A and B are shown apart, each in its own frame.
Chain A
Amino acid sequence: MSSHAKAAKKFIADRERTAWHDQALFFVREKRDRMAHNVPEWEALREMASNMKLHTIANLPYYLEMFEKNATANGIHVHWAKNAEEHNRIVYEIIQKHGGKNLVKSKSMLAEECGLSPYLEARGIDAVESDLGERIMQFMGTPPSHIVLPAIHVKREEVGKVFEKELHTEPGNSDPTYLTHAARAALREKFLHADIAMTGVNFAVASSGAFVVCTNEGNADMGTSFPKVHIAIMGLEKVVPDYDALALYVRLLARSATGQPSTTYTSHYKKPMEGQEMHIVIVDNGRSDILACTEHVNMLKCIRCGSCINTCPVYRRTGGYSYSYFIPGPVGINLGMLKSPEKYSGNVSACSLCYSCSNVCPVKIDLAEQIYKWRQNLAPLHLADPSKKLMVKGMRFIMNHPGLFYNAIAAGRFAERMPRFVLYNSLDAWGIGRELPEFAKETFNEMWKKGLKTD
């Protein structure tokens, strides 16, 4: 059974919760549709946004250096990190230099990717999540189950219970307004007493050296308003050429993500405020490898809006924790495979090939097509036929993915045995009758070696 199917079994055992989760996400998806329909040029906008990303990806060194030059001239300290470890170390060193102890951070998928919070915690730094959803998850001690809606799987009664314990709210009160305002009051104190602020980056504008952070709550801006140090972290694909390009993404992001015409706050940081030090860490962590994967380079266009997750019938019915990679849904299946097929191939089965994700993605990433390719590239390998053909296919697969498969080759199981997808038993039409190819029992390594020997 694939890792996803196994984990999903647990989630779907509670039918009522599954239906509730499904509906909550579909509600967001419908809001997105209404927004898209209100913009007559929506499709042309997506097309241009997609092509602008491709142009940027084709010129990443150029735009990154331009951003660095302009940001530096603006008085921002620019750092570069090859991987998660270097990123964490750079952040920690800045904190240490200032003797920081209390850090407030706004939501950042990159911090999650790098495991920053546990890293800092182990070094005695209290990193408080300030986004409400993230804060709920922090209290619960579990990771977010969605990249934009971190606590989408949590019921109000559960939030009430955890707030009762952590914030001493009234027992039994699970009114969302009451709970939100309790969190507001508690976090206000954290904001006022923080000595370091951290934010993610939605867009970095090369031509200006400014970076943009989008929130609805205002937590990023509140966080950066008091401490003497602001550290912003960004994946290197966040760079956009200029404001004309930025306009495309600002128009698409919130409409796609939550079905709002824009986020409440779209903040542009260009120079450190009076008495403040501003740092930005540009992180690679595997992104430069994605660039070399011709078939999957489109993943670098992603603006992390989450709409492919909201629309995905498998995600809606199985929840974020059914995926083994920290980003769930179509975007996570693909990014997980690019990170480590050895670890995350158990997610590629979590797709009914309905192509809904590809249809909603604001930057027109061919998500479903890519998942299909992963399956195609994995599937032939299960033909336990040690022929030359197999070897050639295996080799071609490796050649198309340089730098990514060394782990897979070096060790371990990579394609799991994949029986009937557990979900297809009871759920509706999209699943019925669609059986997945069985993957091999043998490890990739074994198959690959066999292929080599017959040559």
Chain B
Amino acid sequence: MSSRDDILARLKKHAVDQVERPEMTFEPLVYSDPLEQFKKIMKTVGGNCVVLEEGQDVNEVIRSVFPEARSIASNLPEVTCATVNPDMLDDPRELNGTDVGVIRGDFGILENGMVWINQHTRYKALFFISEALVILLDRKRLVNNMHEAYKQPAFDDFEYGCFISGPSKTADIEQALVVGAHGARAVTVILE
């Protein structure tokens, strides 16, 4: 018998009594002022949130938040300040040393500051290897909680996707919080 069949047979042999799938008995957390809550939670998770003003251009914002950035990687046509299109590179390792990566998020979650990034770039390395990450997000696409998040239409349509909540961090040395463990040292979400 293969290990697979053996394991499944053992699980069937040892099976416990049937238990019905539970129903949801509670009303999950919702927020009355999404924009305010998103700004607040971004702060909690160590991120930065910029609400784009009428007539303001994202490139302006990116330039003003990261005035020293030399390499800006993005495959988004509206990001004209990009210095490199990461999709044109032969090897994701070439992204090492990128100052700012600019990507688009699909929706944000108010309870925890996560933004869903469905990989629309050739290399997912861009999300992690960039020293700083800028996420463009439609301000109308803010959901309250995880339950709503996973119910978004066509959520399962991805090959790789990641919820990102603020910059990379660790507290592995004496519980002292340090930002910039392996991934981006700064995350700015621009709400359009």
Contact = CB atoms under 8 A, between A and B. Distances in A.
Interface string B125-145: 101110000000000000001
B160 A270 contact: yes
Contacts of A27: 175
Contact of B168 (A258, A264, A271): A264
B29 A271 contact: no
Contacts of A80: 2-4, 7
Q: Is the interface of B mostly helix, strand, loop or mixed?
A: loop
Nearest to A268: B161
A130 B18 contact: no
A217 B15 contact: no
Contacts of B127: 221
Nearest to B162: A267
Interface of A: 24, 27-28, 39-41, 44-45, 47-48, 51-52, 54-55, 57-61, 64-65, 68, 80-82, 86, 130-133, 136, 149-152, 154-156, 159, 176-177, 179-181, 184, 187-188, 191-192, 208, 210, 216-219, 221-222, 225-226, 236, 241, 243-244, 246-248, 250-251, 254, 258, 260-271, 273-274, 282, 284, 288-289, 291-292, 294, 297
Given A80-B2, A247-B147, A289-B14, A41 B29 contact: yes
B164 interface: yes
A54 B19 contact: yes
Contact of A61 (B11, B122, B172): B11
14 contacts: A58-B16, A180-B173, A180-B180, A218-B168, A222-B183, A243-B155, A244-B151, A264-B164, A266-B162, A270-B158, A271-B159, A271-B160, A288-B7, A291-B11
Interface of B: 2-4, 6-8, 10-22, 24-29, 41, 44-45, 92-93, 96, 111-114, 122-125, 127-129, 145-147, 149-151, 155-156, 158-176, 178, 180-184
B156 A176 contact: no
Contacts of A150: 172
A222 B24 CA distance: 36
Contacts of B165: 261-266
A291 B16 contact: yes
Sort A-B residue pairs by CB-CB distance and give the 6 closest, nearest first.
A218-B183, A217-B181, A133-B172, A261-B112, A243-B150, A44-B26
Contacts of B151: 243-244
Nearest to A260: B45
A235 B3 CA distance: 14
B170 A180 contact: yes
A374 to B, nearest CB: 20
B19 A58 contact: yes
A260 B3 CA distance: 39
Given A133-B172, A264-B167, A86 B25 contact: no
B128 A222 contact: yes
Contact of B159 (A246, A260, A267, A273): A273
B150 to A, nearest CB: 4
Contacts of B27: 41
